[in-house]
Amino acid sequence: MLNLLLLHMDDAIKQFLFSNMKQDFVPFPVDKSICTGWAEGEKKGGETILYTGCMYQLAPLSAIFNRVSRVVSRVSSPQSILRMAKRVHPEKRELERSYKILRNISSILRKNGVNFGYLFEDEPYSGAFLLELGMLDEFEEYARLVKDKLLSMGVKRIITVDPHSQNALSRYSEFFTFDIEVVSYLDLVKDIVKSSKKGTYVIHDSCLYSRFMNKRDVYRSILEKGGISVKEDYMVTSRENSLCCGGPLAPINESLSSEIGKYRATQLKGVSDKVIVQCPFCYMNLSPYVETYDIAEVISCE
C-alpha cells in the first residue's frame, strides 16, 4: 500500500505536505483554532498532556485536502492554494461532534484519576501522514522537530486519543532516542458507567490498534464494562484479519476508497446495524453507509 501511494504522489505534493508541517506543526494549512476549540477550561501544559494531534478535528476535512493536494502539482503558485485552504472549515455539526468526543475522553480520564494538561495552539501534529506514506526521511526530520518542541515545554508523558498518533509517536524511538512516554487513553480507562446508547453493536477494528498494537481486547473490555452489547462474527470481525475501512487509500483514489468503505459497511451491517469504531478516519469512511459511533460516544463516566 505504501509503495503504491508513493508512486502516485509527485514531489510537489510531498513538499506541499512536508513544508506545511514544518512551518505550522499541523498536517493541513488550517486555522489552528479548529484544533483547540474543544478545550475550554482545560489546564494548559504540564508533564502529562492529553494529545489530540488535531486528528478528530480535521478528519472531516481529509477528503477536501486530498483533493487540494492533487491540485498543488498542477498550479504555478502552491502558496495560493495554501491561502485558500486556510479558509476551509469543517461543517459545524461534524466539528461539534469531534469536540464532544474529546471532551468526553477528557472527562473519562479525569474521573479515572488521570491528571493532565493540553498544549492548545502549541500542540504539534505527530507526522503520522508522512510515516504512513512511507516518507521516512521526512518523517524522521519532522519527528525531531516535534521532539524538541515537546521537550522545550517539559512534556514527559503523552496520552493519545487515536491510533494514528499513537502509532507515529511510538515509532519515534525507531529513529532516535525518545524518552517521552506514549500511552493510549484506552489503556487508562478502568471505570465506566453503563452507556445510555441502547442496542447491539458490531466493532470495526482499527487496523493500527488491532494488527500492530494488540489493543483489540482493551476496547472490547471497556465496552463490556459499560454494559454495551457487542455482536461478533468471525467472518466479519476477525480482529487482526478484519477488512480495512479503505480510508488510507483516499489520497490516491478517493473513489476506490469510498467503494471499499461501502463494501465494509455492508459486511458490518450483516452483523449489526450499529457500528463502533476507534478511529476518526474509520468513522469518516464508514458513516455514509452505516450508523457509526466512535467508542468515546458510547462510553461515559457521568
Q: In this structure, what DSSP letter does residue 242 have?
A: P
Residues 100, 291 contacting (CB under 8 angstroms) = no
Nine cell digits for residue 1: 500500500
Tell me the whole-structure pTM to 2 decimals: 0.89
How far apart, in whole angstroms, are the C-alpha atoms of residue 59 and residue 100? 14
Residues 156, 48 contacting (CB under 8 angstroms) = yes
How far apart, in whole angstroms, are the C-alpha atoms of residue 145 and residue 141? 7
List the beta bridge partners of residue 153.
Answer: none
Query: What are the phi and psi torsion angles at 8 (to 5°)?
Result: -105, 10
How is 53-121 classified by DSSP, letter by letter?
Answer: TTHHHHGGGHHHHHHHHHHHTT-S-HHHHHHHHTT----HHHHHHHHHHHHHHHHHHHHTT---BB-GG
Could you list the pLDDT tens digit for every one of the 302 residues in the chain? 334 444 445 566 677 778 888 988 988 778 889 999 999 999 999 999 999 999 999 988 865 555 555 555 555 555 555 555 555 677 889 999 999 999 999 999 999 999 999 999 999 999 998 898 888 999 999 999 999 999 999 999 999 999 999 999 999 999 999 999 999 999 999 887 777 777 899 999 999 999 899 999 999 999 998 889 999 998 899 877 788 998 887 777 788 989 999 999 999 999 999 999 999 999 999 999 999 999 999 988 76
Residues 32, 24 contacting (CB under 8 angstroms) = yes
Q: Grid coordinates 488535531 are at which residue?
A: 54
Q: In this structure, what DSSP letter does residue 213 have?
A: S
How is 125-148 classified by DSSP, letter by letter?
Answer: P--HHHHHTT-HHHHHHHHHHHHH
CB neighbour list of residue 86: distance below 8 Å, 6 or more residues apart:
29, 30, 31
Q: Grid coordinates 469510498 are at which residue?
A: 258
240-290 confidence digits (pLDDT tens): 778 899 888 777 778 898 999 999 999 999 999 999 999 999 999 999 999
Nine cell digits for residue 217: 481486547
